[in-house]
Structure 1
Amino acid sequence: MSEIVLQVDNLSKKYKKVDAVKGVSFDIKKGNVYGLLGPNGSGKTTTLAMLMGILHPTQGSFSWFGNGQEDRNRLRIGCLLETPNFYPYLNAYDNLRVTATIKNMQNPKARIEEVLEYVDLKERGKRTFRTYSLGMKQRLAVAAALLSDPEVLVLDEPTNGLDPEGIAEMRELILKIGSEGKTIILASHILDEVQKICSHVVMLKQGEMVYNGSMSDLLLQRKSYRLMADDREKLLSVLGSLQQVKILTNEPDSLMVELDENLTGADLNRLVAEKGIYLSELHAYQKSLETIFLERMKL
């Protein structure tokens, strides 16, 4: 079993009459990319701020690396929670030297060169920060988070405000970091990016957790199929008699149905055949993360 790097137990944050986070519990395992997913106002940033020691929980607890909430844990974590904040008239090298000083790093020159090359900014390292595009600023912020070679990287909305090219560059950078074994916790409301990047999902709705598990399990929780038969009316009648089947759409050229978790497409084919119906079409259909997300937000 993978090593657990973060345990969250009944974490809550209340502001006067607003419950921003309500009793959230989950574990983060080493080497995975976790998406903290939810609409604006769902509690993602508040949760990360508590985990990074910026906010104090109203209730509950968390533990990094089995060490509780000790300050030394943050030396093992790289973090980007807000808009990149660097000195505008300093270049990338000098800004990272300031970051290295704050982190008490000794002789950081070689490491600064390394992280700038890693985020594809080495050739532009002598340009001042104020001349950078938003995408370049975000990549420099990731370089700063990686400077001390942390075990865990925490990112809050890293693609927010970026153009399509910037989003693609950030996505590829995060995938590269994850492929090298670092644990990543990524908060986002951009569903397509979460689906492309994350191996696991913690889904929040109005401060409450509505899903915690692997991306693959989430996408396959409910199985949908497109099907058709020559005797359409009899097929509809048979499907309506099966409690394990829910008819989603009834179009002239096909039907879309959703099956219970314990029923396969082969099972469905057999059940309708036993009723004298032979399917002319049966295609598995995987719901997108967007579809599943919108369904869970309506519950």
Structure 2
Amino acid sequence: MQQEIVLEVKNLVKNFKGVQAVKSINLNLHKGEVLGLLGPNGSGKTTTLAMLLGILHPTSGSFSWFNNGTQDENRKRIGSLLETPNFYPYLNAYDNLKVVGIIKNVPNLQERINSVLEMVDLKERGKRPFRSYSLGMKQRLAVASALLSNPEVLVLDEPTNGLDPQGIAEMRQLIIDIAKEGKTIILASHILAEVQIICSHIVILREGEMVYNGSMERLLNQEQAFRLSAANMQQLEQALHSIPGISIAERTETDLLVTCNEKIDGSLINKRLAEQGIYLSELHAHQKNLETIFLEKLTK
């Protein structure tokens, strides 16, 4: 059964005074996916999100939410957190959310406020003024505000920015809990370990250009890798150079990390080396983490 497409992007481009900030992005976001939008500063992440949310106009290309183009009514189905939380400092969480809810015309407002505050674990501290909140609490209240109208899609730009380790862990769990409810999420973040845990799909941008678009699973498993060691590491390295389809990715004093194409597995490596009189003392599969793959994508 084919998943419903929530967002379709075709050849999206944004120029600023002759500089191409976003270069022909194409992607489909399906219902229930958690999409990680990755890239270094200046890669076009925030510009892309701003276009998709109607804050910036594309130079060329198009996008469509819910198979409904760029109609203003689409925004009612999208919640977003793009900047530092901006609430009235002297009002408490309940009253700040009441202001937001009136603006958004949220039905059953008081009930919905209670629900989202409980979801972000602020219900017990909801009567405290916003100015007394820690940065993590402020970020969670901003997520509560984005969820207030019960949107189908949640767009979060660097929701863990500036948070301490505890705050990052709390925000990670909150996003995971929201995703479990079936909401579609777009998450832009610099914290790759968090993205690897949270996201089902990944888009990597480099200088405005999309260099990867696909599932997290495919990204992490697109190359086989093994760690090898033998009594004579120099002979091992020389022998590996003679086996087609194998590349040495990393050298240490005790082992070698090799990558290989899909036709080569551990047993074949062991066999080819044994034929050359080299017997391995270590051979085990190695999976690269998202950070390693991300950095490789940026340098290729």
Report the counterpart of residue 272 of structure 2 in structure 1: 271
Q: Does 1:101 align with 2:92?
A: no
- For structure 1, the residue ranges without an aligned partner over 5 or more in a row are none
CA deviation profile, 1:32-86 (whole Å, cap 9, x unmatched)? 1110001111100000000000100001101111111111111111111111111
Corresponding residue for residue 167 of structure 1: 168
Letter in 2 for 1:201: I
Q: Answer with 246-255 or 151-160: which moved more.
A: 246-255
Instruction: Tell me, yes or no, if the aligned pair for 2:6 and 2:30 is still in contact at 8 Å.
Output: yes
Indicate the residue corresponding to 2:148 in structure 1.
Answer: 147
Tell me the SS of whatever aligns to 2:91: coil
In the aligned structure 1, how far is the partner of 2:221 from the partner of 2:142? 35
* Number of the residue aligned with 2:28: 27
What secondary structure, in the 3-state scheme, does the structure 2 residue paired with 1:178 have? Answer: helix
Q: Which stretch of the first structure deviates more once superposed, 216-225 or 50-59? A: 216-225
- 1:201-256 Cα shifts (integer Å, max 9, x gaps): 10001100010111111111122211123454443332111220011234342222
1:6 aligns with 2:37: no
**Which residue of the partner structure matches residue 87 of structure 1?**
88
Aligned length: 299
Question: Is the CA contact (8 Å cut-off) linking 2:7 and 2:65 kept in structure 1?
Answer: yes
Matched, 1:199 2:200: yes
Match in the other structure for 2:252: 251
Deviations 1:13-41 (A, max 9, x none): 00012211110111111111110001111
RMSD: 1.4
User: Does 2:58 align with 1:57?
Assistant: yes
Residue of structure 2 equivalent to 1:134: 135
Secondary structure at the counterpart of residue 187 of structure 2: strand
**Which stretch shifts more, 210-219 or 246-255?**
246-255
Structure 2 equivalent of residue 118 of structure 1? 119
Partner residue, 1:298: 299
Distance 1:233 1:94, change over 3 A: closer
- The Cα offsets for residues 243-291 of structure 1, whole Å up to 9 and x where unpaired, read as 2001123434222211123322233223333444332210111112111
**Kindly tell me: are residues 241 and 124 of structure 1, through their superposed partners in 2, closer, same or farther at Cα, counting changes over 3 Å?**
same
Deviation at 1:186, TM superposition (A): 0.3
Q: Unaligned 5+ residue runs, structure 2?
A: none
Structure-1 separation of matches of 2:261 and 2:126: 55
Structure-2 separation of matches of 1:233 and 1:118: 57
Does the 8 Å CA contact 2:106/2:148 hold for their aligned counterparts? no
Structure 2 residue identity aligned to 1:259:
C
Give secondary structure in 2 for the equivalent of 1:210.
strand
Which stretch of structure 1 is more off in the superposition, 273-282 or 170-179? 273-282
Task: Determine helix, strand or coil for the equivalent of 2:143.
Answer: helix
Greater CA deviation, 271-280 or 196-205?
A: 271-280
Name the counterpart of 1:239. 240
SS in 1 for 2:37: strand
TM-score of the two chains, using structure 2 as the length reference: 0.95
Match of 2:73 in 1: 72
Cα distance in structure 2, aligned partners of 1:161 and 1:288:
23
For residue 155 of structure 1, what is the amino acid of its counterpart? L
CA contact (8 A) 2:229 2:254 kept: yes
Q: Percent identity?
A: 66
Q: Secondary structure at the match of 2:23?
A: strand
> Secondary structure of the residue that 1:23 maps to in structure 2?
strand
CA distance in 2, matches of 1:96, 1:41: 33
Q: TM-score scaled to structure 1, two decimals? A: 0.96
Q: 2:286 matched to 1:285?
A: yes
Give the structure 2 partner of residue 213 of structure 1.
Answer: 214
